Amino acid sequence: MLKAIWRSSWLQHFLGNLLAQYLIFVRRTTAFVVDRPEIYDRVDQNWPVIVTIWHGQHLMMPYSRREKDRISVLISSHGDGELNAIAAEKLGIGLIRGSGAQRPDQIMKRGGARALREMLKALRDGVTVAVTADVPKVSRVASSGIVTLAQISGRPIVPIAIVTKRRIDFKSWDRASIGLPFFNRGVIALGDWVEVPADANAALQEAKRREIEAALDAVHARAYALLGSSDPGAGRPSVEAARRARESAIENEDHRRAALRPDGAAGGGGAAG
């Protein structure tokens, strides 16, 4: 009963509108500075791009959008994503509905194939696409989906972090944060670009995935440090365990592929461990 009420259209629209108004109010009462503003110049010269964040920053992502920017964001098509989708639309951000994928073979599931087509179309139409690099319940492990998007589209990936000095840090799986209003300070930090060649094999794809992970870790650490804070989502045992599990899965897949080769030797196309 309560779940049905929570997911009712009228309540979702009411809360989505309320969230959008709250985010606007926080923006108007927070003094944001851009760390490495020269990257925005590079973004303008290479528009459109793929903007990526860690999942816990999804509520703060709209603050990176400038008035002139045409941006669409990937949001889950499940009920839990509806509130965020309504708020994003109210903030002038386009929507692409679907879920991310940890592995390339998962892209065909969860509406991922349709979402991938829509993201590619948006990029072709000159619209920047914003996505979380990690997928629900697997915090701060960059997925293969964003690598696939960059490889097919040929567009660069720009990692970002948006942090305020005064904020609420939730104890959620992704350590989500949201800024507080009134006399606040904030940082919009832009990280090192990652580009994926069109002919990248499995080993290079995995290397680029790890590069995205490292770039996001670095830009988040820098953003928090500029405000005299530490990143509440970094270094958690669950994150380290998930990353080790990902590496073990890649190594196991390498061994499986090697065993299937006629000569039994490991060869190109497997991911580096």
Q: What's the CATH code of the domain at 48?
A: 3.40.1130
Residue 67 within any structural domain of the chain: yes
Residue type (1 letter), 205? Q
- pLDDT band (50, 70, 90) for residue 269: very low
Single pTM value for the model: 0.88
Contact 239, 220 (CB under 8 A): no
User: What is the residue range of 108's domain?
Assistant: 2-231
- pLDDT band (50, 70, 90) for residue 7: confident
CA-based radius of gyration for the chain: 19
How does pLDDT run across 190-224, given as a tens digit for each residue? 999 999 999 999 999 999 999 999 999 999 999 99
Residue 270 within any structural domain of the chain: no
How does pLDDT run across 36-53, given as a tens digit for each residue? 999 999 999 999 999 999
* Structural domain count of the chain: 1
> Can you name the residues that pair with 187 across neighbouring β-strands?
33, 163
Residue 254 within any structural domain of the chain: no
Residue 175 within any structural domain of the chain: yes
Would you state the structure tokens that stand for residue 236, as one six-digit string?
């958690």
| Count of CA atoms in the C-beta half-sphere (13 A) of 143 | 27
Residue 88 within any structural domain of the chain: yes
- For the segment 5-24, the average pLDDT, to the nearest whole number, is 89
Residue 264 within any structural domain of the chain: no
Residue 262 within any structural domain of the chain: no
- For the segment 152-177, the average pLDDT, to the nearest whole number, is 96
Contact 144, 135 (CB under 8 A): no
> Can you name the residues that pair with 50 across neighbouring β-strands?
129, 157
How does pLDDT run across 63-103, given as a tens digit for each residue? 999 999 999 999 987 766 888 999 999 999 999 988 665 55
Q: 167-169 and 177-179: which strand pairing?
A: antiparallel
Buried b (16+ CB within 10 A) or exposed e, 208-242: bbbbbbebbbebbbbbbebbeeebbbeeeeebeeb
Residue 259 within any structural domain of the chain: no
